C-alpha cells in the first residue's frame, strides 16, 4: 500500500513538473531562454529545437542573444521566431540574432494572468484524476478483501491529503507567477 501511495505521489509530482515548464514559457517582460523552447527551426529539412542549432544567452534582463553555430541558419532562426506566437521581433546583424524583450503593457499582463490561471486549473485536472484512480484502487482492494475497511479509509484520507497538498502547491505557484507578471 505504501508503494501504491508513493506511485500516486510521483504521478502528482509529474503534473507539478509539467506546470513549471509551462510557466517558464510564459513571457514575463524579463529575458528567459525557456520561452524559446517550443520554437522549431528548419535544419536541413528537419524540424529542430532552436537550442540545438545555436547558443542562447541572456546578457541583460531585457535581451536574449542567439548565436547560431552556422551563419546560414540566421535567416531560418529569424523566420521561426517571427512565425511563433511570442510577439517578439528578432534583430539580425549578420552574426547573431538579438531578441529585445519589450516591457509588458497592462492589457498584456492581464491576458498573461488569465493564461497562468488556465494553466494552473489544467494542472489540477491530472492531480484529481490520480486521486480518483487511487481511491478506486483502494475500494477494489477492500472489495476483494485484500485490505480492511479501516485501511481503505485511512489510505483514502492519505490520498486526499496528497491531493490537497499538490493543489495548494499549484495555487501557490500561480500566485508567485501572477506577482512576477504584474511587477512593473
pLDDT value at position 50?
Answer: 87
pLDDT digits (tens, 9 = 90+) for 4-33: 889 999 999 999 999 998 888 776 777 788
75: CATH: 3.30.1360.40
pLDDT digits (tens, 9 = 90+) for 43-76: 888 888 888 899 999 998 889 999 999 888 888 8
Q: Specify the pLDDT at position 184.
A: 61
The answer to whether 166 touches 173, Cβ cutoff 8 Å, is no
92 and 124 belong to one structural domain: no
Same domain, 40 and 88: yes
The residue written with cell numbers 513538473 in the block is 17
Torsion of CA 8, 13, 18, 22, to 10 degrees: 140
80 and 123 share one domain = no
Same domain? 20 vs 53: no
Instruction: Return the pLDDT at 129.
Output: 95
Q: Please give the residue range of the domain that contains residue 90.
A: 33-100
Q: Where do the DSSP E strands lie in the chain?
A: 40-43, 46-49, 54-60, 63-68, 91-92, 97-100
**Among candidate residues 48, 70, 100, the one where a domain is terminated:** 100
On whether both 122 and 177 belong to a single domain, the answer is: yes
Mean pLDDT score, 136-142: 91
| The last residue of a domain, from among 52, 81, 100 | 100
Q: Are residues 143 and 130 in the same domain?
A: yes
pLDDT of residue 181: 82
Q: What is the pLDDT of residues 144-154, one digit of tens each?
A: 998 889 999 99
Q: Number of folded domains in the chain?
A: 2
Are 71 and 110 contained in the same domain? no
Looking at the fold, whether 177 and 136 belong to one and the same domain comes out as: yes
Output the pLDDT for position 98.
93
Q: Are residues 111 and 20 in the same domain?
A: yes
120 and 169 in a single domain? The answer is yes
Euclidean distance between CA atoms 57 and 51, whole angstroms: 10
Query: Do 152 and 139 touch, CB atoms closer than 8 A?
Result: yes
CATH code for position 147: 1.10.132.20
Q: φ and ψ at 51, to 5 degrees?
A: -70, -5
Q: For the chain, what is the mean pLDDT?
A: 89
Give per-residue pLDDT as tens, 80-136: 888 887 778 899 888 899 998 888 788 888 888 898 999 999 999 999 999 999 999
User: DSSP assignment, residue 150?
Assistant: H
Residues 169 and 130 in one domain: yes
pLDDT in tens, 164-184: 999 999 999 999 988 888 876
- Cβ atoms within 10 A of the Cβ of 137, count? 18
Task: Decide which of 84, 100, 116 is a domain's last residue.
Answer: 100
Same domain, 11 and 44: no
- Reported pTM: 0.72
Amino acid at each position: 500500500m505504501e508503494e501504491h501511495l508513493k506511485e500516486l505521489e510521483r504521478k502528482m509530482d509529474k503534473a507539478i513538473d509539467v506546470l513549471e515548464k509551462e510557466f517558464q514559457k510564459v513571457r514575463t517582460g524579463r529575458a528567459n531562454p525557456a520561452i524559446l523552447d517550443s520554437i522549431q527551426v528548419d535544419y536541413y529539412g528537419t524540424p529542430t529545437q532552436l537550442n540545438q542549432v545555436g547558443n542562447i544567452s541572456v546578457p541583460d534582463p531585457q535581451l536574449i542573444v542567439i548565436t547560431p553555430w552556422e551563419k546560414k541558419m540566421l535567416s531560418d532562426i529569424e523566420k521561426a521566431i517571427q512565425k511563433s506566437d511570442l510577439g517578439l521581433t528578432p534583430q539580425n546583424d549578420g552574426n547573431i540574432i538579438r531578441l529585445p524583450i519589450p516591457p509588458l503593457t497592462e492589457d498584456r499582463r492581464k491576458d498573461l494572468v488569465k493564461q497562468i490561471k488556465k494553466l494552473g486549473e489544467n494542472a489540477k485536472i491530472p492531480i484529481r484524476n490520480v486521486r480518483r484512480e487511487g481511491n478506486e484502487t483502494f475500494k477494489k482492494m477492500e472489495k476483494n478483501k485484500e485490505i480492511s475497511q479501516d485501511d481503505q479509509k485511512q489510505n483514502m484520507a492519505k490520498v486526499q491529503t496528497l491531493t490537497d497538498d499538490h493543489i495548494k502547491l499549484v495555487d501557490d505557484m500561480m500566485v508567485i507567477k501572477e506577482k512576477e507578471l504584474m511587477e512593473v
